Amino acid sequence: MEMVVDWDTLEMCPDLQTLDLSVVLSDFDLKPVLCSSLRALDITLAPLVSCKNLHTLTIFMNQHITSIEPLASCVALKHLKLAACLGLTTIAPLASCHRLQSFSTYTCPNITSFAALSQCPKLETVRISGSSHIRCLDVFASCRSLRALYINRCKNIVNLEPLATCSALRKLYINQCDRITSLESLAACQALETLTIKECSGFTNVALLAACQALKTLTIKNCSNLTDPSGFSALLPLSVPKNHVRGLNVK
């Protein structure tokens, strides 16, 4: 099936709120779309579009994108998802997106720094998956609005210390981060309600989590070196259902 699209006609849609370009091939040379009221843009294999009122942007499987510089002018941007953008090396322009509330990146292995996120004071949810460049979470130390953090397959992260200042953090998910050896810093996260740790062989004790008085759900799965039964006993005063603690290798 052949489809012909005249992108210039989008300039005649000033009230456009949602645009789905999921069938657009990356070889198209798209001109910037000037839609003053555009609020949600889902791009798959398509060049970036800069719109002043853009709220939501998804970029999926586009190895030709090497820069997101146009996003620096998207001052209304609240939600950004990047997936399999192999040519992207920096997200520095996001430092200008002060309204950004959620940021997700999946399998974008060439992004070398996430420092720009520290300039997003309203950031509430972050998902980072498959990044070998992120070694420290200090970028989140100034994110006082951060409520949920998902770290997956980031094998060079060595500690969670910067999260101690994230007083609003309620949900933390850590998967396949073997170099993390201590959960001590989480004791300062008094708002933490849900903690999931999977396939992290670096730490051996969970006793310090007893300081997390708000903790309601704790899921620990396939953490092969977690062998201290007294650590789990320390959690008993908390309101954590026992069936939410799984995969303990207690001897």
* Separation between Cα atoms, residue 13 and residue 46, nearest integer Å: 19
Are 135 and 112 spatial neighbours (Cβ–Cβ below 8 Å)?
no
64-73 long-range contacts (CB < 8 A, ≥24 apart) are: 64/26, 67/93, 68/93, 68/94, 69/93, 70/32, 71/96, 71/97, 72/96, 72/97
Fold of domain 7-185: 3.80.10
pTM summary value:
0.79
pLDDT per residue rounded down to tens, the chain (251 residues): 334 444 445 445 444 445 444 434 344 444 445 555 655 544 433 444 556 777 888 887 766 678 888 888 788 889 998 888 888 899 999 999 999 999 999 989 999 999 999 999 999 999 999 998 888 899 998 899 999 999 999 999 988 999 999 999 999 999 999 999 888 899 899 999 999 999 988 887 787 788 888 988 888 888 888 765 555 655 655 555 544 455 544 33
pLDDT of residue 72: 83
pLDDT of residue 29: 42
pLDDT of residue 3: 41
Strand order in the sheet with 40-44: 18-21, 40-44, 56-60, 79-83, 102-106, 125-129, 148-152, 171-175, 194-198, 217-221
DSSP assignment of 150-165 equals EEES-TT----GGGGG
pLDDT of residue 58: 82
220: phi then psi, degrees, rounded to nearest 5: -125, 120
pLDDT of residue 220: 85
